[in-house]
Amino acid sequence: MGVASRDSDSLVDLFSSRSPKSRSYHERASKVIPSGSNRAVLFYRPYPVYSKRAKGSRIWDVDGVERIDYCFNYSSLVLGHANPAVIAAVEAELENGLARGQPTTLEVELAEMVTRMIPSAEMVKLTVTGTEAVMNATRSARAYTKKDDIVLFEGAYHGSSDTVSANGLSFHSYGVPEDTQRHTVVVPFNDPDALQRTLSDNRNVAAVLMEPFLASGGTVVPDEDFAKVVREVTERMGVLLILDEIITGFRIGRGGWQEKYRIKPDMTLLGKNVAGGMPGAAVCGSKEIMEDVYAFPESESLELGRPKTPLSGTYNAFPLSLAAGLATLRQLSSEVFEKIDGTASSLAKGFMKIAGDLGINVRAPRAGSIFQFHFTKKDIVDTKAVRLADAEMRRRLDLALLNGGVYLSPGHFCCTSSATTNADVKETISSIEKALDQIRPVARAVPTSARQFS
């Protein structure tokens, strides 16, 4: 048995000894739920910890183990778990009933607030999930431009609709018809020349769908002027730019990535924090585009006809989500973003410093309060660098930190919240030092360079 196997076995043994109830629930789940989880991202070996409750920066599993959280439901809780004002707003709205089948005043208030905060959002349509927002935005772009193709960037994650699950993407799925794949064009991220060539050669492109940085794709942060070049190229070529701010909206700043970097897309997608951690997302855009594709045509007839792209859903503008979203957005001050960026920066730098002192090759790319840990000597500038990183070492780190009272999103990006304290950071850095020292017999290679993206 090699060093790596012995190390991994000891980590698993300790984890298993502390989580018998989670193991039992996973065994039960696996009999009725494929792989035991309803979210692919939560699949984890030997099994995930099952959550019991959460408050502030902490989570407790069904075995009673308390951990500092750096997942926050994959960035959807910028104010932390069970924020008092958010909980109070949801409880107050709950007294009015659940979904009621008529418009509510809350959806007007939330849409108005979004248009005040997001520079490109002149009008808003609400959905339940980010996947639905992406699906409706790409369909609407096709309806508006009368073109068929959608350009995506390699390594980007935009949910699970067919258009964004086509062959050639990092998040490829089987079952996508060839005709759909034919209308999805994938280009390298952070390569404006490749985008320019693609748009010059293909005049049937309706829109470019873009994440500001590749969050789920490894936290790949592009050159600072990349988004500006993409905007300039798409405008010049008459192609819509759809900016997916489902993660960055209300987390990078009050006005999202686009406000910070002064980019004005044609359409913007929001999710996660727009609903305050409840199910909810939004498609936003210019008045011209939004009315063209979503509005009912004006007519004196009782038969008004239908919008070009009807958008409906039983739980669209769900009142409890609207209440949570409003309560969250009202609390987003500049101090919130300074705090979450600062704690994330301290964690990333602390990780790099400890690993460097131990002679372990790591990188910790960061964008605001989003960060990720990679075991590699290569800077994380593209998806190739992400693929070359040592995923097994990251798995060991995740497991060692689980045993040490810290929850990183397993193998994924992490984040802080306004509930994350300096004491949390100090405790986490101490746990990281112990974890890296524990796993370093199989991690040591050549000396690391402590470069950080931000």
- Is 450 contained in some domain? no
- Is 454 contained in some domain? no
Of 266, 298, 329, which one is at a domain's C-terminal end?
Answer: 329
- 162 and 139 co-located in one domain: yes
- 164 and 234 co-located in one domain: yes
Query: d(Cα 408, Cα 410) in Å, to the nearest integer?
Result: 6
Mean pLDDT computed over 7-22: 91
Residue 49 DSSP symbol? P
CATH number assigned to the domain comprising residue 351: 3.90.1150.10
Which domain covers residue 425, as residue numbers?
3-81+333-442
pLDDT at 454: 37
- pLDDT band of residue 163 (cuts 50, 70, 90) is confident
pLDDT at 181: 85
- Report cis status (omega within 30 of 0) of the bond before 46: yes
- 143 and 24 co-located in one domain: no
Q: How many domains are contained in the chain?
A: 2
Q: How many CB atoms lie within 10 A of CB 356?
A: 15
pLDDT digits over 211-267, tens only?
999 999 999 999 989 999 999 999 999 999 999 999 999 999 999 999 999 999 999
Q: Helix 192-201 and helix 226-237: axis angle, to 10°? A: 10
- 163 and 265 co-located in one domain: yes
- 399 and 338 co-located in one domain: yes
Look over the chain and give the mean of its residue pLDDT values, rounded to a whole number.
92
- 294 and 307 co-located in one domain: yes
Is the pLDDT at 439 greater than 70? The verdict is yes
- 391 and 256 co-located in one domain: no
- With tokens 């409890």, the residue in question is 320
- pLDDT band of residue 173 (cuts 50, 70, 90) is confident
Of 329, 359, 381, which one is at a domain's C-terminal end?
Answer: 329
- Is 167 contained in some domain? yes
Percent of the chain with pLDDT over 90: 82
Q: Among 283, 325, 279, 281, which residue's Cα sits nearest to residue 307? A: 283
- With tokens 């309806």, the residue in question is 143
Widest distance between CA atoms in the chain: 80
- 341 and 322 co-located in one domain: no
Helix (H, G, I), strand (E, B) or coil at 125: strand
Q: Among 217, 160, 159, 155, which residue's Cα sits nearest to residue 188? A: 155
- 228 and 144 co-located in one domain: yes
- Is 451 contained in some domain? no
pLDDT digits over 17-37, tens only?
999 999 999 999 999 999 898
Residue 102 DSSP symbol? S
Query: d(Cα 408, Cα 433) in Å, to the nearest integer?
Result: 15
CATH number assigned to the domain comprising residue 169: 3.40.640.10
- Is 304 contained in some domain? yes
Query: d(Cα 126, Cα 148) in Å, to the nearest integer?
Result: 24
User: Are 155 and 219 in contact, with CB atoms under 8 Å apart?
Assistant: no
pLDDT at 170: 60
Of 329, 362, 389, which one is at a domain's C-terminal end?
Answer: 329
The residues, any chain, with a CB within 8 Å of residue 286's CB and separated by 6 or more, are: 120, 122, 123, 266, 267
- Is 420 contained in some domain? yes
- 190 and 270 co-located in one domain: yes
Q: How many CB atoms lie within 10 A of CB 116?
A: 12
- Is 449 contained in some domain? no
- Is 314 contained in some domain? yes
- 98 and 208 co-located in one domain: yes
- 339 and 351 co-located in one domain: yes
∠ at Cα 89 (84, 93), nearest 5°?
A: 150
Backbone angles phi, psi at 357, to 5 degrees: -65, -30
Instruction: List C-alpha distances in Å: 404 to 162, 275, 383, 390.
Output: 40, 32, 30, 21
